[in-house]
Structure formats: structure tokens, C-alpha cells
Structure 1
Amino acid sequence: MTENDYGSFVDWNQMGDLATPSGPSKVDCKDLKVFKQMARTGHWAKNHNLRAQVYQQLIKAIPCRTVTPDAEVYRDLMGDALSKKPSSTIPLPEFVDGNLVPHYSLKVEAVASVHRIISCLAGQFPDISHCPALPAMTALLLHFSADEAQCFEHISRLLACNEPGRRLMDQTFLAYESSCMTFGDLANKYCPAAHKLIVATAQDVLEVYSDWQRWILGDLPFAHVARVLDVFLVEGYKVLYRVALALLKFYRKQKAGAQPAGGQAQDSAGVRDDIQSFVKGIGSVVTPDKLLEKAFSIRLFSRKEITLLQLTNEKSLQQKGITVKQKRRNVQLALNPDTFSSEIVSTKEMHDIWSWIPERFALCQPQLLFTTSNHGCSLNRFYSHCEGYEPTLMLIRTTDADVCGAFLSTDWEERKRGGNKLSFFGTGECFVFRLKPEMERYEWVVIRHPELASSIKPPAPGDDPELPQDEASSQGHNSEGNSLPVERQAADPSERLSPFLSARHFNLNSRNTSMFMAGNFDSIIVGGGDGNALYIDSELNHGRTARCTTFDNPPLCAESFQVALLEVWGFQDSMAS
């Protein structure tokens, strides 16, 4: 089969019967119940291009937070790298919990593309702290994407979904752990025979069930998981529970009559490996249609029940003190007093500042780049020490013993784009703070007031010009006139924005709300509009602070101050060799 618009990453020699398209070439259905049935019966399962078009429309209709990165953002961030095939594989972030990228009949270089997409996602979604399903989901959607940028946009929409009550991908340790407990509750209720088998054969049942999502997103053969994805994108997270329970039922059927050797429970890892082996080889005994038929034959299984169990289990875990921040911060905040030495803040105060820093820097260690006393020095020396580091943390102690500072997301070298003309740059991850006399952080004003930004774009070809963009998306129109019905509710208007993008990616009501950082050889500035949160002169000796529109902060110390000591800290990845 020749490569097509939605198959450039696929090794068609490995696709078997799926390499030869058959069945319908378009979907024309407006009745939601009928459309669900089409998804369950595999209406578009044998036509790769049609499946890709259906996925595109379903994902486009997902309600997302106000600003969600799209394909253009990916192209903007990756730049010239997109014109080259990935020559090496970028390491996956820690939050995928060691899960590898399933090959799913992708070309060798396509696996490297998945790594590149995930690396970019990690930077654009700093709040993700635990997402084991991401490698498999990205690999699956790359199968049905025209290019890396489109795959990035599709995954971004799954991650940024903000429809109340709708769940697509776990993104925290707390959510994932509670889902494993929920699966155990459902297995006990709806698969009692299989559950008893696990109890009898494994020392730690929860350890076995902790793999339940991986059975589907990672271990299932491609033909099976693609059929699951057909239904998942229409009906949501509950489908994963149904399919995992069906897999457990089939596993129990295979192991019927088996008893643990010597009447003793096996090592839980052995049971996990046994289930994984069974799921990977399930294609020889269970067809994709048979798997879905078993999954949807489970009676009285509702989204409401799943939600209630999930909330109950999350509450139980929280009462035990298990949260994602605790899990990661215990590692991140293990600062060694022998290697950390600041004349402005104590180790404890640095811990407090660190708790404000975006999660994506969780495994980084601070490195002192620059320090100067009230004798001052040139800004040229400041820039020469700080350029090449992203982000940086600036700490200032005044001659009045006040302490304040700023977290600056972008390399100071970026200032050179404006020549010696003062121009602002940076992203909404920047913030300013004060430590003394009291500790307070001031975030980007748009995070607290998302109504100041908009993500509305010009209508795409085929969209109804009479409809708002989000309504047009929900209609699911494509260039061939297909109309795909999708259940959706209004997005929560209070959803906080993710501050990962540059100001040019937002439709802001005022430029004053995006003046993050600026510098030339006359001064450095943090925050703008009506005033500056911080202004430091060319000798790093005198400064001013005032309320600014970007951070909506009060003066961080005396409005006019003299610098007693200034430190700049850079971030060094502790996992780097």
C-alpha cells in the first residue's frame, strides 16, 4: 500500500489486512446513538484515512481550556527541527513512569518523533506530574496524523480537556492511584471470579491492578487498541475500565482451574508479567470485536458509579497524605546544605520559593550564576553570567533588609532580538515575589483572570461562519461535509490558564498584561504597564518597584531602594550526566 496523508509514519508492511482499505469512505450521521453504535461495531475500522478523519473531528470537538497549544505552536517551538528526520531519541520525561513507546507498526524514525512530541508536551504542560499513558496515546494518534504538529495538537486537546465530569487522561499520581483502586473495586463487583483468582495468586492485588491501563495502552496489539480508541474518543474514560475488565475475564478463562503452586501466593510481579504476556498475545484467541462485545456486555456499569468511586478513593488517598506534590517534592527539595549557599535566603526559604516553581523543573538543582554587592557592577557582566540559562531566579536584598525577587522563564539572551532597544519577552510562567517582611507571590494576572485572554481564531475552511468557533468545532464539519455528533457541555469559565506560551500565542486585551521581562545595557525590568514590578539600573545598584499590570502586584519593598546584594540562580538538571 502506498503512503497517504494520514499514514506517513506507518510501516505498511507490518499492518497486514489493515494495509488494504475497505468499507465505507465517509461518515454521515447526526444521531448520537447511531454514531456510538458505529464506533462500537467498527464502521470505519478498515479504512485508515476515514478513521483518521473521524479522530480529527472528534478531538477537535473536545472542549478545552481557554488557551491550548495547537499545531502552529508546535511548529513555532520546534522551528527548523521539523524539516529534519529525528536523528536520535530524546529521553522520555520522568512522569511517564518508565513506560516505553509501543511501536504499533510505526517506522523506526516515527518512534523518535513520538519522543520529540512528548518532550515538547512536557514543556508546554508543566502541571503534568504522572501520565503513564502518554507514550502509547501519542504513538496511536501519530498513526492517524498528517505530521508531528497535528499529533501534538491532538494530544494537547486530550490533556487540556476541561469539560466538567469528563475524564480523558490521568495527569497526576493521585488521579492514577485512585483509578487503580477504582479498578480493583469494579473488578471485585463485576468480575468476582477473576478477582478471586488474582487474590489467590498474587501477594499484592493492588500492585497487579496498577497495570490496568497499560494492559490497554501498551500491551494490546495495534488492531485491538485502535478499536478501543474508536470508542474511547466517543464515549470517554469509562471505556478503558470496561475493556480492562473484559481482559481480566478472558485471562481468568484461560487460567481456569489453575491453582497457585503449593497453595502459596506468587510474587505479584510474576502475576503482572503473566497478564502482560496474555494481553500481548490475545490476538490469537480473541478478536477486537469479541473484546469490545465482552466489554459492553457488563451490566449496570455507569459513568456515575466510576466517578463516585474515583472521588471516594481520591479522598482516601489524600487522608493518607498521598499527593503528587508530596511524591515529587520529597525528591526535588532534598537540597544539600553543603552544596547550597545563599547570602540572601536560607535553605528553608529556598524550599519555600521552590514550591512556587513550575513542576517541570522538579528534578533541577539551583546553581549560583551571579552575585553582586552594593558596590555595583556592569550589566554586561550580569548578562555574560546569566545568558544560556533558562529559567533563572533573581534574589534581591535591599539596604533596608527587605528581600524580594523574580522567577524568569526565558534566557536573557532573548533580549538581543531587540538590539539595544528595550523590548519585552518571556512567558506567563514568570512571577515576582517578596519574602520580607512577609512572603507573597504574584503570578501573571491572566492566570487569575483568564477573561483577559482569548483563544478565538479565524474560522477554518468548512466551519459555519454564523457559529462561534467552539460551536463550529462541536458540529464536527470536515472538508467532505461529514457531520459527527459529539456530546459536550460548556467549559468551566473559571479554568486557570496554563502559562507555558509566549505572549504572541494569546489574544490579550492589552499588551500591558504581557510585559514579563526586558533588558538592555541601561537597565533590567520585570513586569510592565502602569509601572514596573522591578527596575534595576545599569550598575545594579539602585532600583524601583511599583504596581504593574502584568502581575497586578503591590510594590515589593520600598518604592525606591538601594541594592545591598543581588543573586541570580540558574537551573541544572540533576539527572543530566
Structure 2
Amino acid sequence: MGVAYSVGEVDHLYTFFVQWSPDIYNKVVKKHCQSRFLVLEQDKISVINQLLSNPITNIAEKWEIITVKDSKRRLSLGSSDDSEAEESEYQEEDAALVLSDQSQLLGDHHLQQLAAEMPPRTYGYTWELVYSTAIHGSSLKTLYRNMAGLDSPVLLVIKDMNKKVFGAFSSDSFRVSKYCYGTGETFLFSFSPEFQVYRWSGENSYFVSGNLESLQIGGGGGGFALWLDADLYHGASFSCPTFHNAPLSTEEDFIVQDLEVWTVQY
């Protein structure tokens, strides 16, 4: 872009960023403050241009608003130590999830794909195995008991009898609750036939609910995006309004072969 903004304008803009999405923009602005440019997603630039209708272009100290794609291109062209350091940070963000134990369901390529989808608040933390059917048996009660007292997001991974691997990231730990809980960070994923992520549609807030008989994720359309019974043996997956997802398993009703739950502890 050919438009530059004064430091004062960017200060106001930064305040807007932090209020709008603190996890994303606070991190981005701090990272690039010395280089005097802000890195934004392409679809956000038009919004910012509307906010700043009278740009000041004759001030020595100027900032430039560019896209993430452009910033990476500049980094690849630069040869300074600062550019190399920033490029290293990008590479670190693209790294795979770090697990405390060996997963029976997730390989390195799975972990790399999932890492790119995780919310910023999980960056830099090691994922701990809190429940596994191979270790703890098949019991929803045991899953709840192992997560008692936790206040952190979780990663649920399932392998069905057709060898298909899929699951969900939940913004909140699984628990027995009379009402649905969770936030829009919650999403579904499947690795077969290719990696696919289904994020919150905004249509409803039926993220997670659970009782002693079953665990449910998503809903509102006559079926759950993911449903598991009390024995963590029978499951079901349907398209639902919460995520506008396709069924995650090969068949809408499936049998669980293995199941793991991972969490980060702050």
C-alpha cells in the first residue's frame, strides 16, 4: 500500500487493535514496532482505511500498514540480523505442537497441521496427556475425574474402527454441566481424506455440554457435531449449525478404537 500514517494515528489504531483482538494484535504490533510497520490480514486493511479517513503523510516518523504476506516477502528479501530474527519467530509459530508423551494417534504431520490452528494463548506450552483409553480404559466418568479442577483448553483426538482420525479443540475443560459451555475458539478437525478444520459459524453457542451419560460438541440441527457415550465406545457425528461441519467420521455412527485428551496447563 502507498498510504502512511503518523505515530499519533497509529497509537490510536493500536488501542483499537488491542480492544478488538488483544491476543492477535498486541503480539503483532509489539513484534514489529521497531520496524515501524503493522502486519494485518488482508481482509482487515479495508476496515482500517475507513477508520483513518485523513492520513498525515508529511511527518518524518511514519508507519505503514501491510499484509502478513507482504511482511514475509520483505523478510525473505532482507539480510539484516533483525530480519533473520523475525523470520525465525515466524518459523517457531509454524512449529508442531509439543507433547509431553508419545501420542498413539497423532504423528508429526498431524501436530504441525494442528499447531497452525491453535489460539495464541496456547503458544509455547507443552501439551499434557490427561486421558487415554489405552491407559485409563473406556469411561467418561474417568475422563471427567481426570480433568477435575482443570481450567484450560483441551484437545480431543479420536480414531474410529475405520482408522479415521478426527476430533475437537475445546476452549474449556470437559465437565458435567447443565448448560452448554465454551467459546468461539472451539473448533472441529479431521485428517481424512485431507486435513479439514471447522470453526464456529456464529449461528449458535452450543459448543460443549456433558453429563454422566454422554459428551456432546456442537448442535442445534437435530444432531451433534460429535457425540460420545458413557463408555467412550459408541460415537456419532452429524452436520450441525454450530460449525457447519461435514460428519467427521466415515459413518455418522461409529465405534471408537482409541481416544486421547490433551491439555495445556498455565
What TM-score, normalized by structure 1, do the two folds share? 0.35
Is residue 523 of structure 1 aligned with residue 214 of structure 2?
Answer: yes
Is residue 380 of structure 1 aligned with residue 141 of structure 2?
Answer: yes
1:426 is matched with 182
Distance 1:318 1:555, change over 3 A: same
Distance 1:177 1:440, change over 3 A: farther
1:128 is matched with 25
CA distance in 2, matches of 1:386, 1:547: 28
Is residue 333 of structure 1 aligned with residue 24 of structure 2?
Answer: no
Distance 1:310 1:443, change over 3 A: closer
- In the TM superposition, what are the counterparts of 1:504-543 in structure 2 within 5 Å? 513-530=204-221, 531-543=223-235
Number of aligned residues:
230
Shift of 1:315: 3.3
CA distance in 2, matches of 1:355, 1:314: 16
- In the TM superposition, what are the counterparts of 1:25-64 in structure 2 within 5 Å? none
1:382 match: secondary structure: helix
Is residue 565 of structure 1 aligned with residue 258 of structure 2?
Answer: yes
1:436 match: secondary structure: coil
2:33 match: secondary structure: helix
Supply the RMSD in Å over aligned alpha carbons: 3.9
Is residue 364 of structure 1 aligned with residue 125 of structure 2?
Answer: yes
- In the TM superposition, what are the counterparts of 1:178-217 in structure 2 within 5 Å? 178-179=35-36
Shift of 1:340: 3.7
2:45 is matched with none
1:437 is matched with 193
Structure with the larger strand share? 2
Shift of 1:129: 5.5
Shift of 1:351: 2.0
- In the TM superposition, what are the counterparts of 1:338-349 in structure 2 within 5 Å? 339-349=100-110
Shift of 1:412: 2.4
Give unpaired runs (5+ residues) of structure 1.
1-58, 70-123, 132-169, 182-233, 239-299, 447-509
Residue identity opposite 1:320 in structure 2: L
- In the TM superposition, what are the counterparts of 1:431-510 in structure 2 within 5 Å? 431-446=187-202
CA distance in 1, matches of 2:183, 2:67: 37
Q: Is the 8 A contact 1:392 1:409 kept in 2?
A: yes
Q: Is the 8 A contact 1:547 1:554 kept in 2?
A: yes
- In the TM superposition, what are the counterparts of 1:73-88 in structure 2 within 5 Å? none
Q: Is the 8 A contact 1:128 1:359 kept in 2?
A: no
Q: Is the 8 A contact 1:543 1:562 kept in 2?
A: yes
CA distance in 2, matches of 1:443, 1:532: 15
Shift of 1:425: 0.8
**Structure 1 vs Structure 2: percent identity of aligned residues?**
28
Shift of 1:355: 1.2
Residue identity opposite 1:179 in structure 2: R
Residue identity opposite 2:245 in structure 1: N
Larger Rg: 1
Once the two structures are superposed, what CA deviation does each residue of 1:286-319 show, in whole Å capped at 9, x if it has no partner?
A: xxxxxxxxxxxxxx7169x946x55499836534
Q: Is the 8 A contact 2:152 2:264 kept in 1?
A: yes
CA distance in 2, matches of 1:310, 1:541: 51
Residue identity opposite 2:239 in structure 1: R
1:391 is matched with 153
Shift of 1:331: 6.5
CA distance in 2, matches of 1:525, 1:327: 37
2:144 match: secondary structure: helix
Shift of 1:64: 6.6
1:565 match: secondary structure: strand
1:353 is matched with 114
1:199 is matched with none
Once the two structures are superposed, what CA deviation does each residue of 1:397-432 show, in whole Å capped at 9, x if it has no partner?
A: 00000110000001224x44x2xxxx2110000000
Give unpaired runs (5+ residues) of structure 2.
1-11, 39-51, 77-82
Distance 1:363 1:312, change over 3 A: closer
Residue identity opposite 1:572 in structure 2: Q
Residue identity opposite 1:176 in structure 2: C
CA distance in 1, matches of 2:263, 2:201: 25
Is residue 553 of structure 1 aligned with residue 245 of structure 2?
Answer: yes
What TM-score, normalized by structure 2, do the two folds share? 0.72
1:407 is matched with 169
Once the two structures are superposed, what CA deviation does each residue of 1:514-538 show, in whole Å capped at 9, x if it has no partner?
A: 1000100010001011121100011
- In the TM superposition, what are the counterparts of 1:200-349 in structure 2 within 5 Å? 301=58, 306=62, 311=66, 315=70, 318-321=73-76, 327=89, 330=92, 333=95, 339-349=100-110
CA distance in 1, matches of 2:182, 2:108: 27
CA distance in 1, matches of 2:87, 2:131: 30
Q: Is the 8 A contact 1:178 1:317 kept in 2?
A: no
Q: Is the 8 A contact 2:75 2:87 kept in 1?
A: no
